[in-house]
């Protein structure tokens, strides 16, 4: 076990969701993109990717703020499946949740999945969650960093477009991989 309490197979997820400038209706946010990597911490260059857009149902029209932040277009989500269908495809791709640890940059993605599952009356399938942001922060003297800054602090260049699920998932992996490559094992918890 390279990271105590974390399985050697890691499902790194980054979600994008509906959002509005200056509107605090977090409970109405809906996932509009799932970006994910399934990585083997022992075979670090061997990973699979999943990416899909999701059509929101509560607020089907994306705000200009959301489109500008994520670069996701109205056409991307209009042509997509709703959360229950997309989530089932995602789970089929990911396989048995008992074989990997669900991970993300911070706790938001876990919360958003729980929120979507509750709204659509779907059982939330993940038992464990590995907060890579907290892990990175402990490795860097407990300072909290956003993903973009963490990439730079790791001596890396951000790959792709920030606030796109699949690109953020890749960059989360690159940051974690850099820590593992440099330290091989860190007992931070």
Domains of the chain: 9-131 (3.30.420.10)
E strands, the chain, in order:
9-17, 31-40, 47-53, 101-104, 129-131
pTM of the model: 0.94
**Averaged over 107-127, what is the pLDDT?**
97
pLDDT of 189 higher than 50: no
Q: Give residue-wise pLDDT tens across range 73-105.
A: 999 999 999 999 999 999 999 999 999 999 999
How many Å apart are CA 182 and CA 180, to the nearest integer? 5
Residue 106 burial class via C-beta count within 10 angstroms: exposed 0-12, middle 13-18, buried 19 and up: middle
| DSSP label at residue 35 | E
Average pLDDT over all residues of the chain: 93
pLDDT in the model for residue 27: 80
Q: Give residue-wise pLDDT tens across range 20-32.
A: 998 767 788 999 9
How many Å apart are CA 50 and CA 38, to the nearest integer? 8
Bridge partners, residue 2, by sequence: none
Q: Give residue-wise pLDDT tens across range 135-158.
A: 898 888 778 899 999 999 999 999
pLDDT of 114 higher than 80: yes
Bridge partners, residue 48, by sequence: 38
Q: How far is CA 71 from CA 25, 68, 154, 160, in A?
A: 21, 5, 25, 11
- Asked if residues 177 and 43 have their Cβ atoms less than 8 Å apart, the reply is no
């Amino acid at each position: 076990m390279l990271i105590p309490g974390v399985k050697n197979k890691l499902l790194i997820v980054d979600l994008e969701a509906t959002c509005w400038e200056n509107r605090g209706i977090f409970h109405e946010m809906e996932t509009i993109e799932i970006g994910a990597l399934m990585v083997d911490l022992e075979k670090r260059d061997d990973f699979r990717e999943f990416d899909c857009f999701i059509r929101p149902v509560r607020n089907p029209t994306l705000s200009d703020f959301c489109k500008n932040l994520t670069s996701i277009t109205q056409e991307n989500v209009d042509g997509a499946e709703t959360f229950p269908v997309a989530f089932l495809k995602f789970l089929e791709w990911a396989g048995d949740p008992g074989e990997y640890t669900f991970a993300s940059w911070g706790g938001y993605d876990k919360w958003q999945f729980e929120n979507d599952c509750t709204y659509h009356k779907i059982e939330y399938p993940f038992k464990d969650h590995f907060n890579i942001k907290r892990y990175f922060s402990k490795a860097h003297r407990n300072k909290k960093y956003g993903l973009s800054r963490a990439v730079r602090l790791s001596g890396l260049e951000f790959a792709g477009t920030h606030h796109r699920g699949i690109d953020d998932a890749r960059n989360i992996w690159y940051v974690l991989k850099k820590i593992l490559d440099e330290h091989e094992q860190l007992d931070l918890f």
